[in-house]
Structure 1
Amino acid sequence: MIVSHQLLSLLAMVGTGILTAAAIDIIRTAGGGTRAGTAIELMAWPLLGLFAFSVLFAVRSGEWRLYDLLAQLVGVLLYESALHRPFRFAGRLIAALVIRPILFLLGLLWKIAAFIVGIPVRLILFLARLLLIPFRKPMRAIRRKAGNLSRKVRRKLPASPLKKRSA
């Protein structure tokens, strides 16, 4: 293997180490130590391993050497020591400039759609209330009689079998 090819594969493995550390950092930051965050992290590790292998496969036909593991560890340590803050800053910048405006627009569209759909629904409910006005007094009487009947039935039933009886 040519030295330049080995250097390329070494740099590719350092890059996968940096990207792996960044991905896990993002998952841990977003997960916040919750069970869901832990589950997502457990699902992410095999995917990151497959990603590293696919890079290794593209660079060197999948031949693994010991210095690949060391190169990935160097990538993780490089991320933790030097690239941690710039990645976090870039993430906050992307969130502020891209994600929040998109979420704001989606929320605005949702509110507009709910308002537009709500107008006919409110109109139908208003008309239904108007049509049901003549039935209010009979319904109250029926509910009152049903309430009285249920109280009478409950008085005639024995005490709840789930309650503890005193001996």
Structure 2
Amino acid sequence: MIVSHQLLSLLAMAGTGILAAAVIDMIRTAGGGTRAGTAIELMAWPLLGLAAFSVLFAVRSGEWRLYDLLAQLLGVLLYESALHRPFRFAGRLLAALIIRPVLFLLGLVWGIVAFIIGIPLRLVLFLVRLLLRPFQKPIRAVRRKAGNLSRKVRRKFAGHPLKKRSA
């Protein structure tokens, strides 16, 4: 294997270390130490390993050498020491310029659709209330009677031995 090919594979594996550290940092930042964040991180590690192996497979037909592990560790340390802040800034910039406007537009479209669907629904509810208006007084009377009856039953059985007692 020629030296330039070894240098290319070394840089590729350092790049996978940088990207793995960035992905794990993103997951830990977004997850915030929750159980879901931990579960996502546990699922991400094998996927990152497969991604690193696919890079290794593309660069060197999957031949693994000890300096590949050292190159990945170098990439992780490089990310933590020098690239942490630029990656975070790029993430905030991406969120501010792309993700938030898209989410705003989706919310706006959802609100318009909900409003359009809500108009006939409000009309139907208005008609149902209008049709049920003559029955409101009898329904209130029945509710009042049922409430009075339940209070009477509770008073009558207040000292009942099967009543749940507080400790």
Deviation string, structure 1 residues 97-151 (Cα, Å, up to 9, x no partner): 1001000001101111111111111111111111111101111111122222223
Q: CA deviation at 1:164?
A: 5.3
Determine the structure 2 residue equivalent to 1:42. 42
| Cα distance in structure 1, aligned partners of 2:113 and 2:36 | 31
Q: Is there any run of 5+ residues in structure 2 with no aligned partner, and where?
A: none
Determine the structure 1 residue equivalent to 2:54. 54
Determine the structure 1 residue equivalent to 2:26. 26
Q: TM-score, normalised by structure 2?
A: 0.91
Percent of paired sites with the same residue: 82
| Cα distance in structure 1, aligned partners of 2:144 and 2:84 | 69
In the alignment of these two chains, the number of paired residues is 165
| Cα distance in structure 1, aligned partners of 2:119 and 2:125 | 10
Alignment of 1:108-147 (within 5 A): 108-147=108-147
Secondary structure of 2:115 counterpart:
helix
Q: Is there any run of 5+ residues in structure 1 with no aligned partner, and where?
A: none
Distance 1:112 1:164, change over 3 A: closer
Secondary structure of 2:33 counterpart:
coil
Deviation string, structure 1 residues 65-93 (Cα, Å, up to 9, x no partner): 10000000111111112211211111111
Q: TM-score, normalised by structure 1?
A: 0.91
| Cα distance in structure 1, aligned partners of 2:163 and 2:62 | 70
Determine the structure 1 residue equivalent to 2:150. 150
Distance 1:140 1:77, change over 3 A: same
Secondary structure of 2:64 counterpart:
coil
| Cα distance in structure 1, aligned partners of 2:69 and 2:39 | 25
Deviation string, structure 1 residues 29-65 (Cα, Å, up to 9, x no partner): 1112222222211211111111111111111121111
Determine the structure 2 residue equivalent to 1:73. 73
Determine the structure 1 residue equivalent to 2:107. 107
AA paired with 2:63?
Answer: E
| Cα distance in structure 2, aligned partners of 1:29 and 1:70 | 26
Runs of 4+ residues deviating >3 angstroms: none
Q: CA deviation at 1:160?
A: 4.2
